[in-house]
Amino acid sequence: MNNYIKDLSDFLFDFTDFLEDKKYISPINKKQISIDYSSNKKKGDLATNFYLIIKRKVINENFNIEKEINDRIKLIEFIDHFSISKNGFINFFLKDEFIFKSLKEIYNKNFLNNINYGEDKKINVEFISANPTGPLHIAHIRGAVFGDVLSSLYVKTGFKVTREYYVNDAGSQIDKLSHSLLKRYLQLFDKKIELEEDEYPGEYIIDIAKKIKNEDGDKWLNFNREETIQYFKNFALKNILLSIKSDLELLNIKFDKFTHETEIEKSKIIDELFTILDNKSLLYNGILEKPKGDDSDWEPREQLLFRSSSLLDNEDRALKKSNGEWTYFANDAAYHLDKCKRNFDGLVNVWGSDHIGYIPRMNSLIRAIKDDENYLKILTCQIVRLIQNKQKIKMSKRSGNFVTLANVYSKVGKDPIRYYMISTKNETAIDFDLDVVVEKNKDNKVFYCQYAYARASSVINKTNELGIKIKNNSNLLAKNNLSVEEIKLIKKLISYPYLLYQSSFFNEPHRLINYLEEISSDFHSIWNKGKDNISFRFIDEKNIENTISKLFWLESFRVVLKDIFSIIDIDAPESM
RNA sequence: GCGCCCGUAGCUCAGUGGAUAGAGCAACCGCCUUCUAAGCGGUAGGUCAAAUGUUCGAAUCAUUUCGGGCGCGCCA
């Protein structure tokens, strides 16, 4: 990967190896060595604590560490000079020619070719995987957007990504769904029959029932019960899955693969899983301990268990229910074996925070079948609280009163949803204010950043009208045509490839948002300086050289903005 | 009872071993003859929940306490 921070880091690591090999210093932990962008008030572009750490480890009294540092840093091609602060930080200054060379790579979009952190490795990202028992609602939106953007980020940094949705179309919840649907159908014929408390009360089920009535009339009133239930189950699943897919289209989320739990059941891969576990003595029949909390209807029963406590979990987990059916975990485990067998180099699962307790058993499972502790990464998203009129919107799953994705979409549209769902670190809860995100002012960050793009574009349009060409004129790019503020922004622009790498490495798309807002703000600031000071205006027809220098970074700014917008998947409006 | 996440400005959040802790909103004071004022500049705002420890250095790591959230059955 072509970026100077990585190069500098390699340089410092090699340097450390050299010092250790020659016994000039006692061994150190390289992880302590950091490279940062210098804070604004300090002089310099990059800073490292290298000297701070090394100087305390010198064991050879004849060794002159300062001289060695001096001699070596001189050889780094992109460093102009450096200084060592009183407290021991080394501050580096980049060469102008290097800064402009890097800017040209941004301008020409070459940096995209240089990012191959992923080395074309194949990874599978499983996200949402909501039960097909109802439409997607607010709790699913965050995981949906996070998984989608994370996938795009992986692709951008050189991975081959499969986006996958696991459809839990087996199990007792689906049975409850079918019974709920049947009851709603019967109610349409004035049958006196009520839903049980744990069945699904949502309006959407009545709609599906009406659909059946429209198609088949009263055909199912006196039909064989088993066949009826089977028909209603399939009908419900088909319709709900379709509605989930159409909801996802609203956010432009597309999956490469839907895997159904029922397919997993049919495939018998679970037998294969059990063989693997059995060979490692991880299967046994036993009785689980009495659970904590509400245990009113608990009684001890012997069942098939997974010895996960010998791996990463704190207790063993059931694979088979007492009625002989597989547990949810058993099928999910088989599904994960299936994923493992599909030649991915890594698996990523995005789960809601309500599944955090499930993580240790899944990690145990993967550990049992794959000898690679980094093979599966489980990332979790905390909840989203909806705010309207400064009040939290209360939701109740039991009453079926939840805010659907389609509902939120109709209020605010795609871009604010996508933007805000990843603007906060995934492990932090979000307050999503429906009133703020549709405002067209700087309270609304999406708008603010898109407006920066539109403003920059308006300048480019103006230059087109005036016939000013940037192409083939890049040799005119020169530092003395640019202000301190512009150089500062240019330095941020050339750090973009490293930002992509870090965001991908840490699985943190929200870093993109922080950066995006920062450079947008810098841009708006420079723009406004042009009102007081004519030298800050982008276009000066009397000074083409000056104009070209400005347009050059302005275009690069647009490249970066557009690139981030494409990862988040929001519009890049040329005018607003 | 146990596990995980969170606690940073009045509010919403960045920063997770480095230099004087940062943005935006809200508050107050300013800036449109101009390539988009849907914007910008300035002022003010902090015992980083608390305590102890580790370290040359802690918002960041460890331990404890207090607050908030999410979980913890053969559910999914």
**Nearest nucleotide (C1') to alpha carbon of A85:** B19
Taking the CA of residue A394 and the C1' sugar atom of nucleotide B1, their distance in angstroms comes to: 30
Q: Which range of residues forms the domain containing residue A158?
A: 127-267+382-438
Interval A25-36: pLDDT, tens: 888 888 888 888
The CATH number of whichever domain residue A217 belongs to comes to 3.40.50.620
**Nearest nucleotide (C1') to alpha carbon of A539:** B35
Bases along strand B below 7 A from a protein CB = 1-7, 12-15, 17-20, 22-26, 31, 34-41, 56-57, 69-76
User: Rounded to an integer, what distance in angstroms lies between the CA atom of residue A561 and that of residue A570?
Assistant: 11
Give the residue whose CA sits closest to B34 at C1': A531
| pLDDT band at A294; cut points 50, 70, 90 | low
**End of a domain among A74, A94, A114?**
A94
Give the residue whose CA sits closest to B6 at C1': A428
A48 and A185 inside one domain: no
A237 and A160 inside one domain: yes
Is residue A332 within 8 Å of A338, Cβ to Cβ?
Answer: no
Residue type, A554: L
ipTM for this prediction: 0.93
Taking the CA of residue A40 and the C1' sugar atom of nucleotide B49, their distance in angstroms comes to: 30
- End-to-end distance of chain A based on CA atoms, in angstroms? 36
Residue A472 lies in a domain: yes
Give the residue whose CA sits closest to B12 at C1': A431
Closest-CA residue to A240 (of A326, A329, A327, A180): A180
Interval A322-365: pLDDT, tens: 888 899 999 999 999 999 999 999 999 999 988 988 999 999 99
Residue A563 lies in a domain: yes
A419 and A451 inside one domain: no
Please return the burial class of A86, using the count of CB atoms within 10 Å of its CB with bins 0-12, 13-18 and 19+. Answer: exposed
**What's the whole-number average pLDDT of chain A?**
88
A135 and A234 inside one domain: yes
| pLDDT band at A1; cut points 50, 70, 90 | very low
Residue A318 lies in a domain: no
User: Rounded to an integer, what distance in angstroms lies between the CA atom of residue A133 and that of residue A205?
Assistant: 9
Interval A465-502: pLDDT, tens: 888 877 766 666 777 778 888 999 999 999 999 899 98
- Which residues neighbour A275 within 8 Å (Cβ) at sequence distance 6 or greater? none
A226 and A85 inside one domain: no
Interval A195-214 mean pLDDT? 91
A145 and A39 inside one domain: no
User: Rounded to an integer, what distance in angstroms lies between the CA atom of residue A283 and that of residue A311?
Assistant: 13
Taking the CA of residue A141 and the C1' sugar atom of nucleotide B71, their distance in angstroms comes to: 20
Interval A98-112 mean pLDDT? 89
Interval A371-428: pLDDT, tens: 888 899 999 998 888 877 777 776 655 555 567 899 889 888 899 999 999 999 998 8
- Which residues neighbour A111 within 8 Å (Cβ) at sequence distance 6 or greater? A2, A105, A496, A497
Q: Give the per-residue pLDDT at A316.
A: 92
The CATH number of whichever domain residue A555 belongs to comes to 1.10.730.10
**End of a domain among A70, A94, A118?**
A94
Checking if the pLDDT of A295 tops 80, the result is: no
Is residue A328 within 8 Å of A168, Cβ to Cβ?
Answer: yes
Q: Which residues of A494-518 are buried (b: 16+ CB within 10 A; e: fewer)?
A: bbbbbbbbbbbeeebbbbbbebbee
A426 and A518 inside one domain: no
Is residue A30 within 8 Å of A16, Cβ to Cβ?
Answer: yes
A304: β partners: A285
Is residue A432 within 8 Å of A386, Cβ to Cβ?
Answer: yes
Number of domains in chain A: 3
A543 vs A451, more confident: A451
Residue A549 lies in a domain: yes
Is residue A18 within 8 Å of A71, Cβ to Cβ?
Answer: no
A17 and A144 inside one domain: no
The CATH number of whichever domain residue A75 belongs to comes to 3.30.1360.70
**Nearest nucleotide (C1') to alpha carbon of A83:** B19
Is residue A504 within 8 Å of A153, Cβ to Cβ?
Answer: yes
Residue A554 lies in a domain: yes
Taking the CA of residue A558 and the C1' sugar atom of nucleotide B33, their distance in angstroms comes to: 29
Q: Give the per-residue pLDDT at A515.
A: 94
Residue A330 lies in a domain: no
Taking the CA of residue A34 and the C1' sugar atom of nucleotide B5, their distance in angstroms comes to: 27
Cα-only R_g, chain A = 29
A152 and A212 inside one domain: yes
Helix axes A405-412, A414-421, angle to 10 degrees: 110
A427 and A449 inside one domain: no
Instruction: For chain A, give the percent of residues with pLDDT over 70.
Output: 94
Checking if the pLDDT of A3 tops 60, the result is: yes
A413 and A456 inside one domain: no
Interval A196-206 mean pLDDT? 88
Taking the CA of residue A89 and the C1' sugar atom of nucleotide B47, their distance in angstroms comes to: 28
Checking if the pLDDT of A18 tops 60, the result is: yes
Q: Which residues of A126-160 are buried (b: 16+ CB within 10 A; e: fewer)?
A: bbbbbbbbbbbbbbbbbbbbbbbbbbbbbbbbbbe
Closest-CA residue to A361 (of A323, A398, A328, A390): A328
Residue A403 lies in a domain: yes
A426 and A449 inside one domain: no
* 3-state SS string for A449-480: HHHHHHHHHHHHHHHHHHCCCCCCCHHHCCHH
**End of a domain among A40, A69, A94?**
A94
Closest-CA residue to A349 (of A52, A571, A128): A128
Strand bridging mode A35-37 / A46-48: antiparallel
User: Rounded to an integer, what distance in angstroms lies between the CA atom of residue A297 and that of residue A309?
Assistant: 25
A211 vs A296, more confident: A211
Residue A302 lies in a domain: no
Helix axes A65-73, A4-21, angle to 10 degrees: 140
A574: β partners: none
